[in-house]
Structure 1
């Protein structure tokens, strides 16, 4: 569903601006909203009618004729029936609108998350983002459903009752209204406090989700390293913070509502005292007096409801502000238009420099290398030397800050992101699998239309069939959250099968064999050597034995390439590579 609000250039500072933007999501459902308003009008009319009917009740009591008895019975049933119809229409249709708004908002937030650059996910914990998508968006529902229902229904009831009171005796009504500005001041103060506390509650809920998700997903590490006490303490701290803010919200609401009730009671007491004066009462009958007092006392509930609804509105506004902040985040820059079907795979790094945002020093400096199509290049060096940073620039997960990178003589920035990433298959040491079947994990995303035989062939080349065929449902076996049912080596082989099935001209292997045992590694190495033929391959490996057959080896240190050559050439040169090789060889013997 397209919604204009997502195109808003910046989030307004005022809460009214945020609420207005939120209400813009209601526009596509204006008919349901209009029916909810009609329901509220019926409810308000019936509530006013109940107060007005008191005049006829008194008349029927004083003069109990057959006509009066029948009229009174019809009035009572009619008023309550109308209230019932109004309540159904207002609640159902406003809830319909509210859930549709939540659905649209969730879609917009999730769609934006899928387009945001890597740095956004570096800066924001996954738990907090999930909290935005669930808890915060649900809080918006309060502002667009319950709050709107109560505001409309009770607000119209107040208008109806006031109109009836003004019609009956305008002097008495003005006395009742004298307390209005004081009530307004109390509501205004409470609203500001609600908004301030709501923002803190949103943040503390994000912290709760973040800490809980980390502890749950990393439960093995927590238990192995005795982190239960630490995690309990961490969770209790964020939970306590949430409790304190929630209690502040509850206390503000609990104080403001009775204060407003007392003010209304004072107004009603003043009313009763004044109306007993003959000059004010005028020619009002007993029935009219009772109807007037009934209208005034009936108004206490809707006034209380309308004032308490501010807490819900401020919660919703605070949540909407947070949600719109994510929607307004700048997506990945994608100005490129070049979209080749398939590249040859020649890669050039021209004096490339790169640093992560907010860092002063470059992670990569002066990287210049040309990799002909079909050549395999291995990157080696100590941890932190810049190997992973260098390959992460190719799919443009990060933007290089100096120099240029070209594929087939076209700068990466000339390619559209979709076209560029379709040319690259990636296998990392941190394998990501989904809670789905083995087949769906191999044929993931754009590969989902691949045939069964193609999937089996890719699995066979990755030496994965040997364990897949032992599974109860073969390729249709569900593997659990992030492949929890599989061993590290099995998960790695599925990731390699996925890359093989993609059949991209450029292959990135970032520690692709790190989770494999020696026997599996040998099988995978053979499969990788087969699949690397005819593809430009960049291999990152700590175990130098896995990259001895590479066409070229780049040795990196402190973000620079300090040596380049084949395995035997670098060994005979006796430089940094030879030292690394000697260290590993001596460790293994």
Structure 2
């Protein structure tokens, strides 16, 4: 049901870190403001243990109610200051996160739109859909919430540890006892987590791909009676996804209990060791109290560091998948040469979608400037593939396809579309007004008169004017639904507005009623006068009107000539023509 699939690449850890560093360097003011505010908030939070330790020491030696009240007021002041600083620190972090996420999304959209068409087709829709939906959502949560919270936790942990050490050097010893289980657990987890979450994301891509393929091919599935086979395929994908999620759950169930033990050890050790020091006169009761509270305070930020690290691992896996889109090698090698004219030529062209299985075999074709060529032949003969090469969509495996002596895939896309454009039987109507859908085809903009002229050229002006909103009618998903024929007319009108010199029409009027298509093609011919047209058609009246007809069979051009010449030759085209006209 599908072609051989090629997975999109995933960026490695070094590329992820390099990209994160680049984003951080682009926002130094916000970044350092957030860090400074978090440090100040953490410092104000450290006053409580020290003040409470002093209060315990004062109570032991005798104190007054007024002294206690003063300490409570100071403590309340620090708590208010911490609340205000934390609020603004989180606000700045959120602003930074939103800006970084916006830039990352823009980069991802740009990289996605720059993907070679062949790569998108071979990778399938499931992988790309998962990256544009689940991975973007996961990364959005990580950037908005997980990363700021993790940053706060790291700063708080560092400042709290320094404060604990300031009580006395001996506090470091209980803290160090929790390091071995923490380090061992982290190393064990981090070695396995990234691959586990990448496998999990890949399993979601597989489910999306199978579901999308099954839904899009529902009629074929029903016609061939392979519903049970498709259900088994989806079940297999779900089973793999279950196994992937179970593995990451196993990692968490081993990792987090180990961390809980690592948290408890320093607190217990501080109480025991501090108590022993106090009994021997090496530490005051206030110092032991403050140290214990500081070590207790360490548990929360360290726990958040470890807990959020799990979310950051998922975010890093999603970022690696998003950045991987940019690592797809470009199928264009821009030479910088300028075409010398608009002559389109294919010279000994061979092409394959799968290594070792050519679908075009040494095709030669020279298309004169302003000439109209019709390519006909049975399904699977290679017509559409040759059309895509002539439009510069794919580079040939061997041979050359040139315009004005320059390879089509050696031209920047913007320059290429000024020379040749492809319109297929597949089309898309974007969400927006009809005006917006049409104006996007004109790089320098299009006036309403230009748009109406293009619609008139493709016989679409009458039904557009009949819409309640006219050109302002909202179409696409959630808007007015257009028929298949109307959608094709919009695609053809875009072609008129794009104004390329050479047009490759791949059965571009196949969904329009034959009589309407005949009338449309005649109208379109007047607009396209003087342009080169390569029409891939299954209706032979298109071939009858062409200057020359190219007959494709088994990946080769077997006949080439005018309609009358090929009919007189009595070959494959003559047989097709007789069959089309009901002759046997």
Q: Secondary structure at the match of 2:354?
A: coil
Q: 1:220 to 1:447 in 2, by over 3 A?
A: farther
Say which of 38, 46, 49 aligns to 1:48. 46
Q: Find the aligned partners of 1:220 and 1:366 in 2 and give their Cα distance.
A: 36
Task: Name 2:4's counterpart in structure 1.
Answer: none
1:559-570 correspondence runs (5 A): 559-570=555-566
1:147-166 correspondence runs (5 A): 147-166=146-165
1:187-233 Cα deviation digits (max 9, x unpaired):
22122232222112221333344455556767888899999988777
Q: Find the aligned partners of 1:302 and 1:505 in 2 and give their Cα distance.
A: 64
Task: Name 1:375's counterpart in structure 2.
Answer: 371
Task: Name 1:124's counterpart in structure 2.
Answer: 123
Q: 1:93 to 1:569 in 2, by over 3 A?
A: same
Q: Secondary structure at the match of 2:549?
A: strand
Task: Name 1:346's counterpart in structure 2.
Answer: 343
Q: Find the aligned partners of 2:342 and 2:338 in 1 and give their Cα distance.
A: 14
Task: Name 1:441's counterpart in structure 2.
Answer: 437
1:126-183 Cα deviation digits (max 9, x unpaired):
3422332343244344555544434443333333333343333433541442232122
Q: Secondary structure at the match of 2:445?
A: coil
Q: Find the aligned partners of 1:354 and 1:303 in 2 and give their Cα distance.
A: 61
TM normalised by structure 1 equals 0.87
Q: Is the 8 A contact 1:346 1:371 kept in 2?
A: yes
Q: Which runs of 5+ in 2 are unaligned?
A: 1-8
1:528-562 Cα deviation digits (max 9, x unpaired):
33234322111111121332121111111112111
Q: Find the aligned partners of 2:239 and 2:357 in 1 and give their Cα distance.
A: 39
Q: Secondary structure at the match of 1:368?
A: strand
Residue correspondences, number: 575
Q: Output the aligned Cα RMSD.
A: 3.2
1:87-140 Cα deviation digits (max 9, x unpaired):
223322222222222211111121122222222112222342233234324434
Q: Is the 8 A contact 1:353 1:400 kept in 2?
A: yes
Q: 1:338 to 1:266 in 2, by over 3 A?
A: closer
Say which of 6, 19, 22 aligns to 1:21. 19
Q: 1:108 to 1:515 in 2, by over 3 A?
A: same
Instruction: Tell me whether 1:258 sits opposite 2:257 in the alignment.
Output: yes
Q: Find the aligned partners of 2:431 and 2:411 in 1 and give their Cα distance.
A: 32
Q: Secondary structure at the match of 1:356?
A: strand
Q: 1:159 to 1:451 in 2, by over 3 A?
A: closer
Which shifted more, 297-306 or 234-243? 234-243
Q: Which runs of 5+ in 1 are unaligned?
A: 1-9
Say which of 409, 415, 428 aligns to 1:419. 415
Instruction: Tell me whether 1:360 sits opposite 2:356 in the alignment.
Output: yes
Task: Name 1:453's counterpart in structure 2.
Answer: 449
TM normalised by structure 2 equals 0.88
Q: 1:534 to 1:104 in 2, by over 3 A?
A: same
Q: Is the 8 A contact 1:393 1:399 kept in 2?
A: yes
Q: 1:537 to 1:308 in 2, by over 3 A?
A: same
Q: Find the aligned partners of 2:551 and 2:478 in 1 and give their Cα distance.
A: 33
Q: Find the aligned partners of 1:273 and 1:487 in 2 and give their Cα distance.
A: 79
Give the C-alpha shift of residue 482 in structure 1: 10
Task: Name 2:6's counterpart in structure 1.
Answer: none
Which shifted more, 253-262 or 460-469? 253-262
Say which of 33, 36, 44 aligns to 2:34. 36
Q: Is the 8 A contact 1:483 1:491 kept in 2?
A: no
Q: Secondary structure at the match of 2:27?
A: helix
Which shifted more, 503-512 or 439-448? 439-448
Q: Find the aligned partners of 2:287 and 2:502 in 1 and give their Cα distance.
A: 87
Q: Find the aligned partners of 2:562 and 2:131 in 1 and give their Cα distance.
A: 50
Give the C-alpha shift of residue 520 in structure 1: 0.9
